[in-house]
């Protein structure tokens, strides 16, 4: 693969961001209220407006932002939460990112790559718990080229086990050239996710001293190349704690604007993980820009308000208490029942920690997470219908912006939840889940849709599976 950044220019205006952050301090209450109202009207915020929000210090105004994000989330996404699991395929890596447990210079990391048999066993272990959606994660290494990734994805899709199967595979891997993306796209991947890690270029260069990832522009341009290859379902993210979170929020917004202006469609998802401890990695024990819990809640809420129609992913890096709170402020997807050591799902051993990129904050089982979501009034969803029905990229936005997502997603969430309950759940989750479904059916205002969902639920109880709109 030829890594070339000839003709590539950064779309992150560092000086402009710094100027906006400096000029938008102490905005009056009325201005903050107007910005929130604009977002509640389902309009993406401008950089100046987001800069005003990230500068808010007053507790009452911060609570106003949190409340606005919660209301917006309810309006667009309802109370559903989409569930997935990460599947680490290999942790070989040629980069030397100072914050990463997989970096090439880390002698405490136990290197491992799943064999074909191992990959099938990992998939079976995930399917057996009820998972339908995965994100497959790869280190950056010549062994993990586009063909390798495509073959491993295909192997996962081909694995049918007992009552389940994986219906959607997203990818978290190194940036590729256009031909590489085409190869990966050919096996029917979902979202291709690349975290810029930090949008502050000077900081980026310090933290990525060698390896292909040392090129800020190659990585920044990575999702443009994916789009040119026909992958229109993209995920962006920043690792919070490497630089000032306010700057990173602005960077994520500018990345969104760039994709919208260039390709007519923004990212499908945004991730905002905080840096967590990693074996053999002193940097992670005290990150230079550590984000407090209060600031983390606020940044999630501000992202929700800034980009109303973009999915937001909250990972199991976070402790349970924080996850339960932050769900209110705009999160639409979480991982659950997660393990991040290579081979952990089918064979957890004493080497697991040495095969992991970082330490998880939430190690609950999938069923425990689902039970607690249900008791909290959320609809757990394994829906994959949009991707299989072709509602991705620009087509997804055609449905999303008028508010049709909620109309499609709530019925589909109920159907996939029922499928989980009948095939995989514990008795306590089954009872709580069926009660939630009955309650949510009463909220479906379209009589024809309500009748249709009831009919499909009856078919599912009788043994039919994979029903969706």
pLDDT of residue 144: 98
Query: What's the full length of the chain, in residues?
Result: 469
CB environment 382-420: b (16+ within 10 A), e (fewer) = bbbbbbeeebbbeebbebbeeeebbbbbbbbbbbbbbbb
**CB-CB contact of 381 with 416 (8 Å):** yes
What is residue 52's three-state secondary structure?
helix
pLDDT of residue 425: 97
169 strand-pairing partners? 134
Element (H or E) spanning 8, and its range?
A: none
- The structure tokens listed for 76 are 């667009």
pLDDT of residue 468: 85
The beta-strand segments (E) located in 205-250 are 234-238
**CB-CB contact of 247 with 199 (8 Å):** yes
- The model's pLDDT over 198-255, given as tens digits with 9 standing for 90+, comes to 999 999 999 999 999 999 999 999 999 999 999 999 999 999 999 999 999 999 999 9
- The structure tokens listed for 173 are 């891997």
Query: Any idea what DSSP says for residue 341?
Result: B
pLDDT of residue 385: 77
- The structure tokens listed for 156 are 């996962």
Dihedrals φ, ψ of 176, to 5°? -125, 170
**CB-CB contact of 47 with 376 (8 Å):** no
The segments of the chain whose pLDDT lies below 50 read 395
Question: Residue 306: which of 90, 81, 43 has the closest Cα?
Answer: 43
Query: Any idea what DSSP says for residue 294?
Result: H
**How far out from the chain centre does Cα 143 lie?**
25
**How far out from the chain centre does Cα 313 lie?**
3
pTM > 0.85: yes
Angle (nearest 5°) at CA 120 between 126 and 87: 50
Q: How far apart are CA 331 and CA 184, in angstroms?
A: 28
**CB-CB contact of 210 with 95 (8 Å):** yes
């Amino acid at each position: 693969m030829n890594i070339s950044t000839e003709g590539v220019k950064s779309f992150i205006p560092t000086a402009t961001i710094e100027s906006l952050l400096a000029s938008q301090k102490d905005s009056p209450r009325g201005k903050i209220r107007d910005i929130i109202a604009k977002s509640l009207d389902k309009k993406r915020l401008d950089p100046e407006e987001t800069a005003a929000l990230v500068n808010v210090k007053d507790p009452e105004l911060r609570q106003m932002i949190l409340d606005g994000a919660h209301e917006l989330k309810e309006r667009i996404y309802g109370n559903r939460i989409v569930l997935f699991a990460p599947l680490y395929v290999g942790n070989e890596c040629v980069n030397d990112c100072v914050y990463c447990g997989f970096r090439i210079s880390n002698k405490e990391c136990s290197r491992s790559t799943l064999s074909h048999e191992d990959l099938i066993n990992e998939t079976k272990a995930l399917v057996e718990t009820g998972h339908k959606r995965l994100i497959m994660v790869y280190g950056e290494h010549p062994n993990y080229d586009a063909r390798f990734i495509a073959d491993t994805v295909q192997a996962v899709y081909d694995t049918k086990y007992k009552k389940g199967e994986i219906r959607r595979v997203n990818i978290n891997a190194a940036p590729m050239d256009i031909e590489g993306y085409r190869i990966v796209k050919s096996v029917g991947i979902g979202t291709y996710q690349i975290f810029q890690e930090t949008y502050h270029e000077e900081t980026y260069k310090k933290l990525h001293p060698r390896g292909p990832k040392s090129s800020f522009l190659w990585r920044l341009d990575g999702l443009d190349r994916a789009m040119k290859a026909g992958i229109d379902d993209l995920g962006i993210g920043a690792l919070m704690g490497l630089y000032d979170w306010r700057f990173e929020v602005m960077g994520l917004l500018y990345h969104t604007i760039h994709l919208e202006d260039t390709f007519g469609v923004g990212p499908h998802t945004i991730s905002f993980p905080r840096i967590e401890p990693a074996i053999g990695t002193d940097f992670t024990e005290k990150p230079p820009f550590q984000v407090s819990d209060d600031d983390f809640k606020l940044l999630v809420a501000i992202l929700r308000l800034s980009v109303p129609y973009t999915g937001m992913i909250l990972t199991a890096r976070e402790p349970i208490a924080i996850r339960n709170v932050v769900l209110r402020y705009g999160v639409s997807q979480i991982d659950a029942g997660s393990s991040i050591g290579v081979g952990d799902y089918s064979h957890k051993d004493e080497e697991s920690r040495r095969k992991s990129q970082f330490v998880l904050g939430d190690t609950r089982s999938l069923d425990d997470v689902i039970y607690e979501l249900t008791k909290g009034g959320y609809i757990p969803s394994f829906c994959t219908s949009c991707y299989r029905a072709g509602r991705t990229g620009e087509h997804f936005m055609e449905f999303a912006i008028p508010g049709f997502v909620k109309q499609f997603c709530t019925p589909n969430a109920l159907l996939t939840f029922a499928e989980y309950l009948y095939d995989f759940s514990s008795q306590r989750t089954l009872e709580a889940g069926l009660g939630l479904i009955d309650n949510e059916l009463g909220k479906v205002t379209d009589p024809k849709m309500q009748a249709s969902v009831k009919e499909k639920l009856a078919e599912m109880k009788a043994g039919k599976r994979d029903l969706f709109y």
